[in-house]
Amino acid sequence: MSPRPALSTALDAFIEARRSAEAATRVELGLGETEVRALLRIREHPGIRPSVLRDHLGVTSAGVTTLVDRLVERGLLRRELDTEDRRVNHIHLEVDLDALPWSQLDRFARDLDDAVDAEPAATTDAFAEALQRITRSVLIPR
């Protein structure tokens, strides 16, 4: 068996570093992976409707209700009734995800962006193009 290509090994190390950093943060904050994804999505879309969040997370209606209930009980989210349709509610953050300790949720991504910005643009652009080509070749049936 031949040795793995350096890029494959480097990508595996990157994935493991990201997974470890994110897992440590989730444990520290007492959150599950889906809860973190929900919080980050709500930050991007304040006032998101539960059905839109459900679709993004790929969970059932009951699943998103349980998730939101749990985060509301912890004081992380709040529901607001729609002013025009009382059957509809909108979900908002109750915590500032840009302040500690919540800012740790996407620290790895921010640190990665900073590291990428420190590299020459030609290098990162070429790497991005190559990685996209390689990824497409794996995903598209031949």
Tens-binned pLDDT, residue by residue, of the chain (142 aa) = 567 788 889 999 999 999 999 999 999 999 999 999 999 999 999 999 999 999 999 999 999 999 999 999 999 999 999 888 888 899 999 999 989 899 888 889 899 999 999 999 999 999 999 999 988 888 866 5
Predicted local confidence at residue 84, as pLDDT:
87
**Which domains can be identified in the chain, with CATH numbers?**
1-29+97-141 (no CATH), 31-95 (1.10.10.10)
Predicted local confidence at residue 1, as pLDDT:
59
Between the CA of residue 19 and those of 16, 22, 33, 88, 110, what are the distances in Å? Answer: 5, 5, 11, 35, 15
Those residues with Cβ within 8 angstroms of residue 63's Cβ, 6 or more apart along the chain or in another chain = 54, 57
Supply 73's token pair: 């009980």
Predicted local confidence at residue 49, as pLDDT:
95
